[in-house]
Structure 1
Amino acid sequence: MSTKPSTKPSVLFVCVHNAGRSQLAAGWLSHLAAGAIEVRSAGSMPAEQINPAAVAAMAEVGIDITTQTPKILTIEAVEASDVVVTMGCGDACPVFPGKRYEDWQLDDPAGQSVDAVRTIRDDIQTRVEKLIAELLPTVPDDAGR
């Protein structure tokens, strides 16, 4: 008996430290897609911990990212993802044919106040909602009637 590979789309968010932007994006995607999309995040030079301002900004919208930890970017994570969203990782992100790549130009929340991080958080939410709409096309209302 063979196992069928998952048809669930997968997204990898990559930034340098995997402590701010990529964690915000992964938190939004996990929350908004509710398990319909596999979510990964990583960094080319992971920090020791997630940016506390990012944690606080997400907590304000009811999303808990306190259990997440910065992870190193691996070739395996890129290979296993359908979409790779980079956020300032430069040339450190490996490129594989057949993958969809997006580069989101976002301010780095490192060293910024929760006030500043809210703006980044909200920008990321809008981008994640657009990505979900592209990856999970909705079924027409009259389907099956």
Structure 2
Amino acid sequence: MTEPRPSVLFVCVHNAGRSQMAAGYLTALAAGRVNVFSAGSQPVDQVNPVAVDVMAEEGIDIASEVPSVLTTDAVRTADVVITMGCGDACPIFPGKRYEDWELDDPAGQPVETVRRIRDDIRARVRTLLRELTSEG
């Protein structure tokens, strides 16, 4: 019998940079072993174009992603909730794993800064994947 795939929800304020990059990495690296979602407490209209560009440098396409609003149901169905600067906007449910990743907001930052944020996210996602799958 196959074990159920864990679900991870990445949350930031605008769902346009950090959470989209993290979701892109986990989706690519997990190769179907993890259900991946992202949302924002105050989503904007589009993903940060600089975030799209730096992820494309890694071979990960997040250009078609659309920022979405954080819902209580999204948190309820996730096994792991990773917040990135969204403060107290995320509802708390017992039995869930919560982590807060302190990351700079890439909005309005030069490409070099966004690359540094991207690389930090990649390292954290790899660690998370190893923990979730014991093989990552």
Name the TM-score, length of structure 2 as normaliser: 0.96
Alignment match, 1:98:
95
Q: Does 2:36 align with 1:39?
A: yes
Q: Which residue of 1 aligns with 2:129?
A: 132
Residues 88-126 of structure 1 show CA distances to partners (whole Å, capped at 9, x for unaligned) of 000100000000000000000000112110000000000
CA RMSD of aligned residues (A): 1.4
Partner amino acid for 1:8? R
Distance 2:101 2:87 in 1: 11
Larger of the two Rg values belongs to structure: 1
Aligned residues: 135
Q: Does 1:23 align with 2:23?
A: no
2:58 matches 1:61:
yes
In structure 1, the partner of 2:119 is 122
Of the three residues 47, 70, 74, the one matched with 2:71 is: 74
Task: Give me the TM-score of the superposition, normalised by structure 1.
Answer: 0.90
How big is the shift at 1:67? 1.1
Structure-2 separation of matches of 1:80 and 1:58: 27
Displacement after TM superposition at 1:137 (Å): 1.0
Moved over 3 A (4+): none
